Every structure is written in C-alpha cells, then in structure tokens.
Structure 1
Amino acid sequence: MTETSRYLGRLSCPRCSATYRDPATELLGRGCPACEKDGAPANVLPDYDLAGASRLPDDPDQPGLFRHRALLPLRQATPAVSLGEGGTPLVSLPRTAERLGLGALLVKDETRNPTWSYKDRLAAVAMTKAVELGVEAVVVASTGNHGAAVAAYAARADLPCVVLTVASVPSTMKTLMQVYGARVVALEHAPDRWRLMRELVEDRGWLPMSGHAAPPVGSISYGVDGYKTIAYELLADLGRVPDYVVVPTAYADGLTGIWRGFADLVALGLADRMPVLVAAEPFGPHGTALAAGTDTVGPVPAGPSVAFSIASPYGTFQGLAALRATGGKAVPVPDDTRILDAQGRIGREAGLYLEASSAITLVAVEELAAAGGLPADATVVIIGTSTGLKDVGATAATLPPVPVVEPTLAALDRELGR
C-alpha cells in the first residue's frame, strides 16, 4: 500500500534550527548561511512529520530502498531512480567477536549494492530528487565510491554527469566512474575541485551531488537521508537496536543518515533507544572536536592514508551532533599498517574483502575493546561501506607473491610447509 509522504517540503539546520523551503538548491553542498557566517558550518537536512505514525512505511511495490519512500524527501509521484540498492545482508563474525570478548560482532555488508558501496543509497535518493527538480546535469567531487555511484544512477536517469576527482586516486576508481558514462576529470589539488564545482553550480545550474564548500559541510541534503534505510534494515534484521554501530567517517554523511534513521524509529515507537554511534576516522577531527567541546570540526593534522576516501582533516557539525546525541565516540586510526592488517583479518575470519576505509572500523572496535569501552555482552555492528576490489594494489602489497610449483605432491608439500 502506498503511504503519503511525510516529508514537510523543507530543510532545516541541525545547529541553529533555521528552516528553508524546498527546493533550496542554493544551499545544497554549501549548508546553512547563518552557521557559515558563525564559523561553524552545518548542512541543512530534510524535515518530516511523524505525528500519529506508528509503523515504518514499507511499500513492496517500490524498488530497492524506495519501499521506505514515505520517509524520504521526495514527492510521491516522482519515479524512483533505482538499481535495486539496499536490503544488504548482516553478516556475523563469531570468531572475531569471541576474540574480542563481545556478545556479537556483525558487518552490514554494503558491498552488495549495485556499485559495491553504500554510496548507492545516497545516489538513488539524490538522483531521484534531481529528476524531480528537472535539472540539466549533475556534478560531484569524489575520490571514487561517491563518483561511481552518482555516475551509475545518472546513467539510469539519463542525466549528464561530470565527476571531479584527484589525480592520485587508484586507476580502478577512475575506471568505475568512467564506465557508467560520466565525464571524469582529475585535478592535482583536492580543494580545486570544490572551487570549480561551485562555479558549475552557480553559473550553469548543475545540481551538486556532493559538497563544494570549504570547509566542507557534507553532501547533497536529500541524499543523506538515503542512509536512514541502513538503520531501518538493522532493526528489521536484528529484531532490536544494536548496542554500537561503527561507521567509517569523513564528512559524516553515513553517520548522520544512520543517526536520523534510528531517530525515526524512536519517534515511531519502534525502538526505545538509540545505539551508541562510533566514528572511525583516520586523523580524528570529530574526536578532537568532542574533546574540545566545540562546534567547529577541524582542521587537524592529516596526510596520506590507505583509507584515502575518508582521510579528511575536517569533519562536520552534523557528524558531531550524531555522536553527541547518542553518547558516541570517535576513534582515530592513522596507522596504515594496522588498517591493512585488519583488512586481512576480516578476510581470514569472515570471508569478506572490505576496502581499507571500511576495515578501519575493526581497528576502532579493537581499540575500544582493549580499553574496556565495550561491555562483554555488547552487540556491535560495523558498516562495511565498500569492497576491497576498488583498490587491489594496496592489498596486494601486503601479501606474498603467488609461488609457481611443480605439479607433484612433494613440491606442493614443500611450499605449504613454508
């Protein structure tokens, strides 16, 4: 049964509560003007009316995550731009949980999405909104997953797409962004992408699928709510709210969306509490801001990282708000060796090949467990945001060469005995 949209047709700032009527396209990727002037940038996010609702909207006639479209910022009549995203499995890691002394450790395996990352959730909702708004083209600044997802969904929507990336990203990422038909150009310095993107948005009216402010405020407001569906699925799969959810974090789009999804479930009376949210980040901007009690998230010292897709010196206000609202934590993991070692252990202990920016979550869990920060009976979910196949070179550098042996048992035994 189709349920009427509960979206109020407006965006609001989580920091100062200012509201803006939809479509506030001039704010997308740029955030709240008042908070920008205050020096504490914050994104603007969709508002909903959940009064009187007592169940989670679930329309089986809608594709992918659009089964929950009544809680997405869309008109009911707008055709869904979908590739069957969402509904990803929750995979138990019993050996890892036992090793860490946890009640349960599970991976929400977002590698099963159409472009093998959780960015498909954002792209599906954002591209549907692009169709609703009747834009001529979309543009995104990305080092890989975000750009690939936007390119794929733009192809599905038959919309021109331009991806602004950086020259240093792995060739696999560039291929993924190009194969869906996007025009991909690389710039030497990451901030140059945002300046060029803002010109395209302001001068040509293209819709920004990611942020273009400096310092960053996060991605397109409508798309962030695509991540709410992760919370809905976690409750459905577990039958309860997990104790902790650990999210790879840069500008906190996923962290914010998951927080908002659990807030919906509490408001609907389907959950009696929020999970503790944990941001796993290479260099610690959210953790530093939490410790300092500030609303300004970064910059902090940063450098190259194997977790390049989340290796930002900045976080965002809404990411900080998600952590504060749930009694959450932020765990910095700057050590590439530890991240790649965790990637290998997830492969050996669970049979999952996650990208380095996802494997960072296991290091965060291990640090919290070692410090006594996780109860022995805790149920912990880590978000496996993307597949390791997108940067095979980094993984291969940690593995021994594959030996060539004679076709005899003796030769094989000699090699295996090593």
Structure 2
Amino acid sequence: MNIIAGYRCIRCGTRYPADLRLDTRGCPKCLETCPSNLRPLYPGRSNSLADTNNHAGKSLWQYASRLPSFAGGIVSLGEGLTPLVPAGRIGQTLGVPHLFIKDESRNPTWSHKDRFSTVVVSAALSQGAKVVATASSGNAGASLAAYAAKAGLECIVVTFAGAAGAMISQIRAYGASVFPMARKTDRWALLEKAADQLGWFVTSPYHHPVIGSHPIGIEGYKTLAYEIVDQSDDLPDWCILPVCYGDALTGICAGFQELLEMGRISRVPRLVAAEVHGSLSAALESGCDKIEEQEQSFKTVAVSIGTTRSTYQALKALRDTGGCAVRVSNDEIRSMQGMLAAKEGIFAELASVAPLVAVQRLRERQVIAQNDRVVAIVTASGLKDLDISIEAPRREKPFVSVEDAWKRAFERTKADESA
C-alpha cells in the first residue's frame, strides 16, 4: 500500500513528516526566498504500474500502484483513461502532421481537474474532513463539488464576479455552496480563516505567492503521463499544456520521470506551458527561481489560466524537461477554438486550445520540427464557458420553402467541392 510517509520540497529537497499541516505555504525553508510546493514520499513502492488490488475498474485508479492509498477508500466517478486522438487535419494546417490531442473533456465533469479531485477527496475523506473547499473560477470547483457529492461531503467553492456562468451552474447542480467575492483576492482570506477556525479541507492555494494546489491531489495528474505512454506507439517529443499555477504540468512531469526511473521510457518529452501574461517566459529568460508578477496588459478570455504570476513548480517542470513557455493572445485563442472544432470535431474551452496556439508559434519559429510527435492536452469542454466564447448567438433566418433550402445546400456543396 502506498501510505504517504512524508513530504519533500521540490526545490531544496528538505523532508518533512507525514503529519505536517499542508496549508499551501509549502516548504518552510523556501518560504522567504522562493515559495515551493512539496511532493509526497512513499516507502518501498512497487516498480509496476498495474493495480494489484483491482481497486476501481475502468478509471485512472488502474494505476493505483503509483498513487496514494487511503484507509477510507477511493472516491471515483470513472475519471481518466481519456482518448489520445490523432489530429492530422489541424496538424497539417499548423505544420505538425504528427499531432495528437489528449481530450480531457471526456472526464466525468468534462475537465482534467477530475484527476486531481478523485485523489484529493479520497484523502479528505480518509482524514475525517466534513467540508472540502476551493478557490476556483470554474473547472476545479465543479470537479471538487461532484466528488464531494459522491463522498457525502459538504463542498464550498469561493469564486469571483466574472466567472463563467455555465460552470457556476454546474457547481450548484452538484449541491455545493458558491461564495462569489467582489474582490478576487478576498477568496484566500476567507479560506485561510475557515481552514484555521472551521477545519475546512482546502484543496486550492490560499496564500500569496502561490506554490500550487494540495500536493496529494497533484499526484493524480501523473496518470496523464502513464496514459499517454500506454496509448502511444512512439513516445511524443513534446507535451503542451495550458498553464496557470502548473499543477497538471507538475504532475505530468512527475509521471514521465517515474516512467523513466522504471525503465518504461528512454527519455522525458519536452514540456511546454501555454500561458497568458508571461511570468514563466520571464523566469526562464532571467534564470531565477522566483516568479515575478507580470503586468496584466489585457483581459484574457482564457479565464482559467489568466494568472499574472505562476509558480516555481511549473518553472521546475519546464527546466527539468528542456521545455519552454509561450504567451497566447485572445484573438489567437478564439480563432483556434473554431479551427479545432471545425477540423477535428472537438469543441474545447477557450483556455484549453492555448496549447494549439503554442504549437503554431513554436512551429513557425522552427523550435518544433515538422516530423516531431506532439501531444496537446485539451483540458476541458467548450460548453464550460459558452457565455465568454460566444459573444451572441447567431440567429439563422428560417427557410420559407424546400426550394430555398435546396438552393442553399446546392451552393454550399459546390463551394466545398471547388475549395
């Protein structure tokens, strides 16, 4: 069993006991110089990916031998095992014919956050928590609410004005309480007070500077790497993700590194962060560990990755894999969302198409070679932020007769044939 034996700082390597209070400040030694997240330590772990206990059937828990074990059992909705889809049509357009999309919209709540929630809610249940809580603009809150409902726990999602309406409706549908704050930064003050005085199990960051989310939950993102390797004939050269605080980036990096240590792969793919305001790009250029706040030069439509300051854990994943970060704009994102849907039949959330914009940019700069194998992680469904992605619904004028409709159909077909 993978009982957590303690934690290790991912920056300085200092080890801490298993009963350390994880209050999202991270490593006490690194706090003043460069706040850094922790990773769980497991004693005597198996060198296999197979689940010898047959925990959870068709879900990411088929990799339970590499995930934490919990006395209270596993809270699962059948998450993970999402398809790795060949995306040759859009790949040809972008100049990368060997392009694949890891479609995370196929998860139970239609986003990659379910990989985090299944693990972190299992941990909360095992620790006797009654309330789980998060600060979220949407996907993390919806996911946590669903898994809390499955576990019979109360869920609080502290959000802010401007969060996508569809996601707020989804959160409420799962029975969670939504606390919208007029000032975005007030979310953390509320969560800190509730964690201290009410014993809430808080899964998201609630201190500044941010180090990332709960380290136990981040372990769930390792399964992205396991699945990509299991689903691929050849190991990809690049894996590209939309990045805010880098939880999924950190997890997938850890997963690939474990596979390397196990001898399952001969190298680790280079990771790329598609970001909005450029804090990781600036840190990579400066060579410093500390992530600096960036100016918010525009209001992004990719709300879920709109931070002006990422984390050391994200920076470390990029450095460890020889990766890079690419800034993306609103116009590029909107255009790419439509292109992906029209060419590949995948309607993705605005932030989720940012990796494809990064692919295009890196190919234009010849950083990605034409024959490189590239996996873009599309993290959530386009139904999540319809109120942001579509300014106003287009109202088609009704056809008054079959003849009018036939004329339009004929013209459209002939235009397609000549294109």
TM-score, length-scaled by structure 2 = 0.93
1:371 maps to which residue? 365
Residue 148 of structure 1 aligns with an amino acid whose one-letter code is A
Per-residue deviation at 1:100? Answer: 2.7
Per-residue deviation at 1:60? Answer: 7.4
- The DSSP-based 3-state class of the residue aligned with 1:186 is strand
Q: Provide closer, same or farther for how the CA distance between residues 350 and 257 of structure 1 changes in structure 2, counting only shifts above 3 A.
A: same
Q: Is the 8 A contact 2:112 2:380 kept in 1?
A: yes
1:132 maps to which residue? 126
Correspondence 1:329 to 2:321 = no
Correspondence 1:294 to 2:288 = yes
Alignment of 1:179-328 (within 5 A): 179-302=173-296, 303-328=298-323
Find 1:29's aligned residue among 24, 31, 34: 24
Residue 5 of structure 2 aligns with an amino acid whose one-letter code is G
Q: Give the Cα separation in 1 of the matches to 2:204 and 2:382.
A: 23
Cα deviation digits, residues 62-114 of structure 1 (max 9, x gap):
22212212211334x43110000000001111112222332411110100100
1:9 maps to which residue? 5
- The DSSP-based 3-state class of the residue aligned with 2:120 is helix
Alignment of 1:8-87 (within 5 A): 8-24=4-20, 26-38=21-33, 40-49=34-43, 53-59=46-52, 61-63=54-56, 64-75=59-70, 77-87=71-81
Per-residue deviation at 1:363? Answer: 0.6
Cα deviation digits, residues 151-193 of structure 1 (max 9, x gap):
1001111111111000211211111111111111100121110
Alignment of 1:372-387 (within 5 A): 372-387=366-381
State the identity as a percent. Answer: 37
Q: Is the 8 A contact 2:49 2:64 kept in 1?
A: no
Aligned residue pairs: how many? 409
Per-residue deviation at 1:240? Answer: 3.6
Q: Is the 8 A contact 1:48 1:71 kept in 2?
A: no
Q: Give the Cα separation in 2 of the matches to 1:414 and 1:159.
A: 54
Q: Give the Cα separation in 2 of the matches to 1:130 and 1:152.
A: 14
Q: Give the Cα separation in 1 of the matches to 2:408 and 2:103.
A: 37
Q: Provide closer, same or farther for how the CA distance between residues 216 and 367 of structure 1 changes in structure 2, counting only shifts above 3 A.
A: same
Q: Give the Cα separation in 1 of the matches to 2:235 and 2:173.
A: 38
Per-residue deviation at 1:57? Answer: 2.9
Cα deviation digits, residues 89-141 of structure 1 (max 9, x gap):
01111112222332411110100100000000000000000011111211100
| Consecutive unaligned residues in structure 2, runs of 5 or more | 413-419
Find 1:94's aligned residue among 64, 88, 91: 88
Q: Give the Cα separation in 2 of the matches to 1:239 and 1:11.
A: 35
Per-residue deviation at 1:417? Answer: 4.7
Q: Please tell me the root mean square deviation across aligned C-alpha atoms, in Å.
A: 1.8
Residue 271 of structure 1 aligns with an amino acid whose one-letter code is I
Q: Provide closer, same or farther for how the CA distance between residues 401 and 258 of structure 1 changes in structure 2, counting only shifts above 3 A.
A: same
1:122 maps to which residue? 116
Q: Is the 8 A contact 1:59 1:68 kept in 2?
A: no
1:338 maps to which residue? 332
Q: Is the 8 A contact 1:243 1:379 kept in 2?
A: yes
Q: Give the Cα separation in 1 of the matches to 2:116 and 2:408.
A: 50
Q: Is the 8 A contact 2:48 2:65 kept in 1?
A: no
| Consecutive unaligned residues in structure 1, runs of 5 or more | none
Q: Give the Cα separation in 2 of the matches to 1:269 and 1:407.
A: 66
Cα deviation digits, residues 283-328 of structure 1 (max 9, x gap):
1111111001111123111242110011000111011000000000
Q: Give the Cα separation in 2 of the matches to 1:416 and 1:346.
A: 26
Q: Give the Cα separation in 2 of the matches to 1:62 and 1:365.
A: 37
Q: Provide closer, same or farther for how the CA distance between residues 215 and 78 of structure 1 changes in structure 2, counting only shifts above 3 A.
A: same
Per-residue deviation at 1:214? Answer: 0.8
Q: Give the Cα separation in 2 of the matches to 1:388 and 1:60.
A: 36
